[in-house]
């Protein structure tokens, strides 16, 4: 998943219609840290119930960020009182609550026999070993994606994707029976034409690229980063989790297995495989999006499924939470440049350009963006789901959560309690983040620097917009500029025009990739979301070894960005979910010892099969 380039659009986010809302501004963009504590630590002896619940909330949000190592806003109508008389939980996961509406488990009916046959095939050891081998082979092709890649056809580093295509065509030959289109050379679009052209198609996505392996860390891997080694439990290597597992699962189950069972879809299914999601996405998904919109038009797809959230049991093993993401944070990279007069370093001014830049950065870090728990926002809805269905959620916090829809005091107290549990992680969930990541300045030790610059990365919260972030930065920088007699160009607006004797400050969108928070996928009873939620429940409840008392589906905000940032025009119904549990990922993604639990990945194949069959039958 990629923290940089994003699609800029003015679409209005739509809040889930089942959740309480308030007049509020919402927005979102890019990747994040993995869970900071295990379930065992969360429930260790000696912890108070309140502390255990706060830790569970931390874990609940942390699971969202497992796949990511990097990471618009609208006024939304609402009603503070609409949930005052709802049942105040804890509620059985087999019941529904207006605080956290649930879909029923959804199994294919027309395709019940086919689904049963495929489940038997997926349980066969010979099938499993063949599937593991295919994923292993895909991992062995090092399709690394770099931020400084040139254009396709010019930069030779793209050539590795041609080798991956050759491999996929070799091990998945039946895919060639479908319509296969190459977009911008290495983007793959597959089309399985349905029998009824009046039905909107469904789009499934994954990406072919992986983040590079830092050479100095290769020795720290249990198995070589591109070995694809299967040790009987885990499949090791870069991309095993993010995202070649989804890529090969889609090809194997969604195409090869279904073709072999003579499946003939009524609805058209399309697969889109980008190849630079970990960089900017512009060469891959950016071109694919234009191709698909030209083919199918705006809102031409019924639904889209891409990588995203996991499932977990953050409040104990009794209840499993499926956590699809229905929104993403926004994104902004700001370049701050300070220019001053040069000269010999033997006669320096009180502050060089580097010193002035440092003062600006210190001031920005001293004034972070304010986290907010906004009614109707995704984090707010997530907490309500935990309070409603979390068995270990203690009554004091549960009551705060249930009072929050109609009490500002309770909402503020709930926000403070959540932030106290883990200010860094949950501050990132509830607020816009800023990180000064790159600094440059000076050319020689005896020459005063005439230019110093910094890049500051922002992930924009649901309650803010790009313009809000820019205004915040300008407001922090201006007093410092006045103190040092600097003129200011803040995103094209001239400030402190009487200054300038000490130099000049210029702030810009560094790469022109600013992105508003994404539209929010609708979750109404008649929306495609319920096909997804029902499929998640049915797949988990039918899994071998399932012993929980129920499954809850809780929609989330994702802290990273997927290729879906380019697909906003294609459908309002965008789901970011991969069917894996936190125990199926060895060490997260984008780090050493990336590995996927092989049996858990088989469950991904089962889920994707049921999702396709359910979309064909129930959507």
Please give the C-alpha separations between residue 612 and each of 40, 204, 373, 504, 566, in angstroms, as whole numbers.
36, 9, 35, 57, 22
User: Beta strands 303-312 and 319-322: pairing type?
Assistant: antiparallel
For residue 189, which of 174, 169, 204, 168 has the smallest C-alpha distance? 204
Neighbours of 337 (CB within 10 A): 18
CA terminus-to-terminus distance, the chain: 28
Residue 430: the pLDDT is 96
* DSSP helix/strand/coil, 401: helix
Residue 15: the pLDDT is 32
Residue 115: the pLDDT is 97
* DSSP helix/strand/coil, 208: coil
Residue 304 to residue 576: CA distance in whole angstroms? 8
Flag residues of the chain having pLDDT under 50.
2-47, 63-85
The domain 112-328+518-618 belongs to what CATH superfamily? Zn peptidases (3.40.630.10)
User: Could you tell me which CATH number the domain at 330-370+433-509 has?
Assistant: 3.30.70.360
Give 518's DSSP letter.
Answer: P
Residue 472 to residue 29: CA distance in whole angstroms? 18
Residue 395: the pLDDT is 81
Which residues contact residue 336 at a Cβ distance below 8 angstroms, ignoring those fewer than 6 apart? 357, 360, 361, 453, 454, 456, 477, 505, 506, 507
Please give the C-alpha separations between residue 227 and each of 127, 224, 247, 252, in angstroms, as whole numbers.
21, 5, 18, 21
Ligand-binding site membership of 590 (annotated): yes
Ligand-binding site membership of 242 (annotated): yes
Residue 9: the pLDDT is 29
The angle at the Cα of 146, spanning 140 to 152, to the nearest 5 degrees, equals 90
**Residue ranges of domains in the chain:** 112-328+518-618, 330-370+433-509
Residue 559: the pLDDT is 87
Catalytic hit among 277, 464, 603, 617: 277
Paired with 454 in beta bridges are 336, 439
Phi, psi dihedrals of residue 115, rounded to the nearest 5°: -60, -40
Residue 421: the pLDDT is 86
Residue 394: the pLDDT is 72
| 34 close to 66: Cβ distance less than 8 angstroms | yes
Neighbours of 394 (CB within 10 A): 17
The angle at the Cα of 598, spanning 38 to 528, to the nearest 5 degrees, equals 80
Residue 503 to residue 341: CA distance in whole angstroms? 7
- The helix, strand and coil proportions of the chain, stated in percent and rounded to the nearest 5, come to 35, 20, 45
Please tell me the total number of residues recorded for the chain in this structure.
619
Helix/strand/coil (H, E, C) string of 569-606?
CCCCCEEEEEEEEHHHECCCCCCCCCEEEHHHHHHHHH
Residue 89: the pLDDT is 67
Residue 55: the pLDDT is 58
Please give the C-alpha separations between residue 409 and each of 393, 415, 419, 501, in angstroms, as whole numbers.
20, 10, 15, 48
Residue 57: the pLDDT is 60
Provide the CB-side half-sphere exposure for 155 (13 A, CA).
15
Ligand-binding site membership of 207 (annotated): yes
Ligand-binding site membership of 278 (annotated): yes
Specify whether 277 is catalytic. yes
Catalytic hit among 28, 74, 209, 603: 209
Residue 385: the pLDDT is 95
* DSSP helix/strand/coil, 144: strand
Residue 53: the pLDDT is 56
Please give the C-alpha separations between residue 222 and each of 77, 219, 230, 601, 608, in angstroms, as whole numbers.
52, 8, 12, 20, 30
For residue 354, which of 448, 439, 452, 445 has the smallest C-alpha distance? 452
The angle at the Cα of 508, spanning 504 to 513, to the nearest 5 degrees, equals 165
Residue 397: the pLDDT is 84
Q: Which residue reads 């900017």 in tokens? A: 280
Residue 588: the pLDDT is 82
Residue 49: the pLDDT is 52
Residue 404: the pLDDT is 96
| 140 close to 165: Cβ distance less than 8 angstroms | no
Residue 141 to residue 136: CA distance in whole angstroms? 9
Provide the CB-side half-sphere exposure for 436 (13 A, CA).
18
| 588 close to 541: Cβ distance less than 8 angstroms | no
Specify whether 209 is catalytic. yes
Residue 3: the pLDDT is 34
For residue 393, which of 45, 43, 27, 71 has the smallest C-alpha distance? 43
Residue 59: the pLDDT is 57
């Amino acid at each position: 998943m990629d923290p940089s380039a994003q699609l800029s659009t003015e679409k209005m986010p739509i809040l889930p219609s089942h959740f309480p809302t308030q007049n509020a501004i919402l927005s979102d963009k890019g990747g994040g840290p993995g869970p900071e504590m295990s379930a065992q630590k969360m429930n260790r002896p000696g912890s108070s119930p309140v502390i255990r619940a706060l830790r569970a909330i931390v874990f609940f949000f942390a699971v969202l960020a497992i796949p990511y190592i990097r990471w618009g806003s609208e006024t939304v109508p609402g009603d503070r009182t609409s949930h005052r008389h709802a049942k105040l939980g804890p509620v059985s996961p087999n019941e529904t609550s207006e605080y956290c509406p649930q879909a029923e488990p959804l199994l294919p009916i027309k395709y019940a026999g086919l689904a049963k046959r495929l489940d038997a095939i997926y349980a066969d050891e010979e099938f499993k070993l063949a599937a593991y081998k295919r994923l292993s082979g895909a991992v062995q092709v090092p399709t690394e994606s770099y931020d400084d890649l040139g254009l396709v056809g010019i930069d030779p580093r793209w050539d590795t994707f041609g080798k991956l295509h050759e491999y996929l065509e070799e091990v998945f030959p039946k895919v060639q029976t479908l319509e296969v289109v190459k977009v911008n050379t290495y983007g793959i679009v597959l089309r399985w034409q349905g029998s009824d052209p009046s039905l909107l198609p469904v789009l499934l996505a994954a990406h072919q690229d992986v983040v590079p392996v830092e050479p100095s860390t290769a020795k720290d891997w249990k198995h070589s980063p591109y070995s694809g080694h299967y040790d009987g439990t885990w499949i090791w290597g870069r991309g095993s989790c993010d995202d070649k597992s989804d890529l090969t699962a889609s090809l194997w189950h969604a195409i090869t297995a279904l073709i072999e069972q003579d499946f003939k879809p009524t609805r058209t299914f399309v697969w889109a495989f980008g190849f630079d999601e970990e960089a900017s996405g512009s060469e891959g998904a950016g071109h694919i999006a234009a191709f698909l919109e030209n083919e199918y038009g705006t809102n031409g797809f019924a639904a889209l499924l891409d990588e995203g959230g996991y499932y977990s049991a953050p409040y104990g093993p009794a209840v499993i939470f499926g956590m699809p993401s229905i929104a993403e944070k926004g994104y902004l990279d700001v370049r701050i440049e300070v220019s001053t007069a040069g000269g010999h370093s033997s006669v320096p001014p009180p502050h060089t350009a580097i010193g002035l830049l440092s003062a600006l950065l210190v001031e920005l870090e001293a004034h972070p963006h304010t986290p907010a728990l906004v009614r109707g926002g995704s984090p707010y809805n997530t907490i309500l789901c935990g309070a409603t269905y979390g068995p270990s959620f203690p009554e004091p916090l549960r009551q705060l959560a249930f009072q929050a829809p109609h009490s500002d005091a309770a909402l503020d107290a709930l926000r403070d309690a959540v932030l106290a549990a883990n200010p860094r992680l949950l501050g990132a969930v509830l607020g816009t983040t800023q990180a000064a990541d790159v600094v440059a300045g000076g050319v020689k030790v005896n020459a005063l620097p005439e230019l110093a610059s910094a890049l500051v990365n922002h992930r924009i919260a649901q309650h803010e917009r790009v313009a809000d972030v820019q205004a915040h930065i300008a407001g922090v920088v201006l007093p410092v500029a006045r103190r040092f007699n600097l003129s200011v160009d803040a995103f094209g607006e001239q400030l402190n025009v009487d200054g300038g004797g000490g130099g000049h400050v210029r702030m810009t969108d560094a790469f022109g990739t600013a992105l508003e928070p994404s539209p929010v996928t609708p979750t109404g009873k008649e929306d495609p979301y319920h096909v997804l939620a029902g499929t998640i429940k049915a797949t988990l409840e039918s899994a071998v070894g399932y012993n929980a008392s129920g499954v809850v589906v809780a929609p989330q905000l994702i802290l990273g960005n997927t290729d879906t940032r380019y697909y906003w025009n294609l459908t309002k119904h965008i789901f970011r979910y991969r069917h894996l549990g936190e125990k199926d990922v060895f060490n997260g993604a984008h780090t050493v010892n990336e590995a996927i639990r092989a049996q858990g990945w088989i469950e991904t194949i089962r889920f994707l099969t049921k999702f396709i069959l359910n979309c064909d039958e129930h959507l």
